[in-house]
Amino acid sequence: MKFFCFALLACLNTVMVLAEDPLPSWKEAPAKQSIIDFVQNVTTQGSDSFVPVAERIAVFDNDGTLWCEAPLPNQAVFVLDEIKRLLPEHPEWKQDPAVAALLGGDLAALKSDQYAGLIKLIALTHTGMSPDEYTERVDRWLETARHPRFGCSYTEVIYQPMLELLDYLRANKFETWIVSGGGQEFMRVFAEGTYGIPPQQIIGSHARMKYELVAGKPTLTKTIDTLFVDDKEGKPVAIAEFIGRRPIACFGNSDGDQAMLEYTTIDNPRPSFGLLVHHTDADREYAYDSNPPSSGKLTTALEAAPQRDWVVVDMKKDWNVVFPADGKKEN
Amino acid sequence: MKFFCFALLACLNTVMVLAEDPLPSWKEAPAKQSIIDFVQNVTTQGSDSFVPVAERIAVFDNDGTLWCEAPLPNQAVFVLDEIKRLLPEHPEWKQDPAVAALLGGDLAALKSDQYAGLIKLIALTHTGMSPDEYTERVDRWLETARHPRFGCSYTEVIYQPMLELLDYLRANKFETWIVSGGGQEFMRVFAEGTYGIPPQQIIGSHARMKYELVAGKPTLTKTIDTLFVDDKEGKPVAIAEFIGRRPIACFGNSDGDQAMLEYTTIDNPRPSFGLLVHHTDADREYAYDSNPPSSGKLTTALEAAPQRDWVVVDMKKDWNVVFPADGKKEN
Ligand SMILES: [Ca+2]
Ligand SMILES: [Ca+2]
């Protein structure tokens, strides 16, 4: 009886999967088909290209791949808003060249001297507190801050087609990871609710915390020590350190993802898949590659894509909707 | 029909779970009962102490908690064997004070100057190669090396009761993690096959790898840079960095686990559980606490246990069998 039930359920599930389109926000075009082909390829029992569940690791960049990164990366807006919010408590900050550059809009000054100014601003807004206190600050900001162009919360300027892709991969027993230059603890605040990705599958830029018992209570404090920037060659390094297994699928949108795309797709003993989101839709979102509004420069990775067989998503042509709210308006 | 099948299966599963003893190698004693009480407590829907699946994180020390650490930690034997194996190719090593101390059995010299000698030996045997090459070396060693007392492979001097505990927790939808002072890549070689724990749930001491394309191929190289020692206060720091969520269960055997036991059980908004394996069985394994054969000193954590409500497992009294092979002999 038990076996009969299982067999019946398996049949029902197969029928349902065949009947439903797992990627309704993707237009019927080669990019969508290549995703479906790859997933069917590695999940078909008995085929040469079958990949065991334990090795179905998919890694996603965040800024510009899962959510909007223009006109400024969302975390940069958080830093700016936090500096402004905290300034009355810290009048001495006004004398800090980094704070002055930020308030004066002098982004070039923040980037000079190997981003020393930017790191100082991150230290002012991201350290000296517990991860719980930091989480509260990010939560409070996410509740109130609004995207300057779209007028909605920053957790709503996420890409509906990529949400469907995450779900589709997980339905096929992939483990979905974020590997992003963004702050690791920053993303962990919202990624579980927003993307269904738990904190332990989120790798980002991070620094070493400090642990001690304070008044008998376990206390972690965020610091800027041993800062690790999870970008470019740092991405495969972080994947090896946190995951310890080569991904078979990698999704990015900029030259900062090129190293992890290469690590995923070149010389991989397993079938592998690489994809770049190309921002081509100025009407619905933004159009940029070599000259982005802020982050997300895409030149060398785009050039390498044909040779590497990386799928390049043309946002304008490949996506029916961009943000979840767009789909709701249409329905 | 589908709902009926699910309901029937759920009933069958419940009956099976009630009928089977999940921890047969644990004697019917308070330690076993406390584990079962905790797990039932946090998994009972609707109870105040229910913990959602996403927060069921359990962390395990490895040396002395999941496998034997006497007369020497197994990885130290690997280092010694590798130095001997590689010495003919590296005659210059004989002039190295650390190598000389190792070959002369002068452990005190290796520990002096903040373990500088030991770190040098680790550098000689664990760096300058790819993770794949390192994995091959550990695999080859595990296939041939034998425990000096028990005469079996090092992956067989693992604790059968702890294997059952890992399975029991996973059956109750816990995610089981290793958080150990041992080498992260070292443990990742065997932990999936031996404990059912995948590489991405293994945190250990580790250093930053280097990534580059060599002759067009993605190449990671192990280094000793930014060495992180995952012991004592390092354990909660690593948990926060890798998992980003407080565990609700923690299993260790030495003072090196005290910080993560405190982090897990003090002031945790969720119900929590701490356990120390006390090595009390010189006949079947080893008996030690304040004066261990090598690693595994247990004094302050043992003193703190009653106040913290940490369960102390008396290996001799609480375990029917120690190693998996013991159980097979009895059957
Ligand atoms: Ca990006
Ligand atoms: Ca231990």
Task: Using the predicted structure, report yes or no on whether residue B3 has a pLDDT greater than 80.
Answer: no
Residue A221 near residue A209, CB atoms below 8 Å = yes
Distance from residue B59's CA to the centre of ligand 2 (Å) = 12
Considering only CB atoms, A2 lies closest to which of B9, B211, B263, namely: B9
B244 vs A9, A202, A245: nearest CB = A202
Rounded Cα distance, B253 and B32, in Å = 16
**Chain B residue numbers touching A188 (CB-CB < 8 A):** 244
pLDDT above 70 (res A1): no
| A9 pLDDT tier (thresholds 50, 70, 90) | low
pLDDT of res. B314: 98
Q: In this complex, which of A6, A57, A233 lies closest to B212 when CB atoms are compared?
A: A233
The pLDDT of residue B327: 78
Interface of B with A in 211-240 (CB under 8 A): 211-213, 216-218, 220, 226, 228, 233-234, 236-237, 240
C-alpha A245 to ligand 1 mean position (Å): 22
Q: How far is the CA of A67 from the centre of ligand 1 (A)?
A: 9
Checking if the pLDDT of A187 tops 90, the result is: yes
Q: Which of A131, A192, A217 sits opposite B240 (nearest CB)?
A: A131
Distance A283 CA to ligand 1 centre (A): 20
Q: Catalogue all structural domains in chain A, each as residue range(s) with its CATH number.
A: 27-70+158-330 (3.40.50.1000), 74-144 (no CATH)
Over residues B60-119, the pLDDT tens digits come to 999 999 999 999 999 999 999 999 999 999 999 999 999 999 998 888 898 888 889 999
Convert the pLDDT of each residue in B230-247 to its tens digit. 999 999 999 999 999 999
- The continuous run of DSSP H or E covering A287 comes out as strand A287-288
Burial B7-31 (b: 16+ CB within 10 A, else e): eeeeeeeeeeeeeeebbebbbeeeb
Question: Shortest CA distance to A167 belongs to which of A50, A324, A44, A52?
Answer: A324
ipTM above 0.85, yes or no: yes
What phi, psi does B235 have (nearest 5°)? -65, -50
CA distances from B272 to A213, A288, B38, B41, B267 (A): 18, 49, 8, 10, 9
Structure confidence by residue, pLDDT tens digits, A111-122: 888 889 999 999
Chain B within 8 Å of A263 (Cβ-Cβ)? yes
Does the distance separating the beta carbons of A220 and B236 come in below 8 Å? yes
Would you say residue A2 has pLDDT above 90?
A: no
pLDDT for A74 beyond 60: yes
- B190 touching chain A per CB within 8 A: no
C-alpha distance from residue A324 to each of A143, A161, A306, A329, B19 (Å):
18, 9, 30, 9, 47
The residue to which tokens 């402004």 are assigned: A84
